[in-house]
């Protein structure tokens, strides 16, 4: 606020209060603030900070496609990502098909998501089912990654004591020097 008003250093005592700002706003008028808002909007579009898809003028108007994160929903997102990754890795390795139970899992998730009233019991059942699908898909992903490592002589690199890659690949303990990302590096 103080930087916006042009102060060069931080002031600890109260400089402006709400009534002062209201008086200034009244003196400048509605037309000035509309003009300032329009120019600000143009600058933000020019600098590509926001996209020009329209502006919401009221807090009661909001886009309808808001997705609220729930445990089951997040697990389903993870499962879908794993299935896509398994499919890509499987195609790259030339593996025929990996049975991911994609359709059955989606069916179970949609059956749960479309229910109006969700009891604790149904939430727990859906959570358990999604966790089982995610565990299965993670196991399948690890098998494909290990297969890729054997074929291409890849070294698995990971950071941290508890890293799953480090546990599964004893070779990486000696060869990995660190880094923030978990990934695959080709052996030199």
The neighbouring-strand residues paired with 157 are 183
Model confidence at 80: pLDDT above 60: yes
pLDDT digits (tens, 9 = 90+) for 97-116: 889 999 999 999 999 999 99
Model confidence at 41: pLDDT above 90: no
> Taking a C-beta distance cutoff of 8 angstroms, is the pair 28, 37 a contact?
no
> Taking a C-beta distance cutoff of 8 angstroms, is the pair 134, 83 a contact?
no
Tell me what the mean pLDDT of segment 17-43 comes to: 86
Structure confidence at residue 108 (pLDDT): 96
> Taking a C-beta distance cutoff of 8 angstroms, is the pair 79, 105 a contact?
yes
Tell me what the mean pLDDT of segment 18-46 comes to: 86
More confident residue, 49 or 13: 49
DSSP readout, 28-90?
H-HHHHHHHHHHHHHHHHHTTSS--S-----TT---S------HHHHHHHHHHHHHHHHHHHH
Which residues fall within 8 angstroms of residue 169, CB to CB, at 6 or more apart? 149, 155, 156
Tell me what the mean pLDDT of segment 144-165 comes to: 59
More confident residue, 71 or 149: 71
In what helix (H) or strand (E) does residue 157 lie, and over which residues does it extend? strand 154-157
Around Cβ 71, how many Cβ atoms within 10 Å? Answer: 13
């Amino acid at each position: 606020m103080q930087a916006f008003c042009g102060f060069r250093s931080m002031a600890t005592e109260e400089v402006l209060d709400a009534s002062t700002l209201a008086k200034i706003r009244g003196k400048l008028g509605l037309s000035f603030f509309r003009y300032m808002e329009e120019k600000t909007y143009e600058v933000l579009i020019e600098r590509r900070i926001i996209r020009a898809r329209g502006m919401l003028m009221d807090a009661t108007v909001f886009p309808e496609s808001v997705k609220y994160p729930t445990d089951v929903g997040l697990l389903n997102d993870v499962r879908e990502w794993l299935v896509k990754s398994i499919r890509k890795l499987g195609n790259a390795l030339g593996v025929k098909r990996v049975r991911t139970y994609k359709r059955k899992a989606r069916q179970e998730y949609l059956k749960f998501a479309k229910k109006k009233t969700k009891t604790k019991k149904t939430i727990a059942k859906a959570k358990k089912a999604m966790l089982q699908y995610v565990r299965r898909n993670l196991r399948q992903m690890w098998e494909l990654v290990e297969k890729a490592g054997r074929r291409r002589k890849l070294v698995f690199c990971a950071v941290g004591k508890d890293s799953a890659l480090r546990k599964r690949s004893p070779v990486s303990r000696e060869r990995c020097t660190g880094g923030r990302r978990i990934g695959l590096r080709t052996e030199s």
